[in-house]
Structures are given as structure tokens and as C-alpha cells.
Amino acid sequence: MARQELAEIRQWDDQRLAREINEAYRALFTLRFQHATRQLENYRALRDARKRIARLLTVKRERELARLRGES
């Protein structure tokens, strides 16, 4: 499933990627807040949110490196 999601993320444009990163961080903040107030029932959601952010940031970094290689 992660590979399918990663392939889909790679097709997004830079604006959508930035928007999704922002939304993922907001979702993680909400989950952390729920965890702190003992309202979170699904603790795996925290892990999944962190992994999603990592995938998004990986694609962002891949694009940055590709641009740098293209400029050289």
C-alpha cells in the first residue's frame, strides 16, 4: 500500500504536495492533542500520520535534488 501511495504522491504538482504536507502536520497536531487529553482511541493513527509526513517530505526532497542535478 505504501508503494501505491508513494507512486500517487509523485504524480502531484509542487503546490498540491506543499498543501498535503501542511494538512498532514495539522492532522498530526490534532492527533497529539487528542493523545494528550486522552481522547485518542486509535494510537496507530499517530504512527501512520508520521509515516505519511515522512513519505511526503521524501518526495519533496527527491524533487529538490533533481532540480539541483538539473542545474549543474
- Give CATH for domain 2-71: 1.10.287.310
For 44-64, the pLDDT digits (tens) are 999 999 999 999 999 999 999
> Which one is predicted more confidently, 47 or 6?
47
- The mean of the pLDDT values for the chain is 95
Mean pLDDT over residues 19-35, rounded? Answer: 98
Q: How confident is the model at residue 3 (pLDDT cuts 50, 70, 90)?
A: confident
Apex CA 9: angle with CA 27 and CA 52, to 5°?
A: 35
Using the predicted structure, report yes or no on whether residue 71 has a pLDDT greater than 90: no
Instruction: Report the distance separating Cα 35 and Cα 40, nearest Å.
Output: 5
The helix/strand count (H/E) of the chain reads as: 3, 0
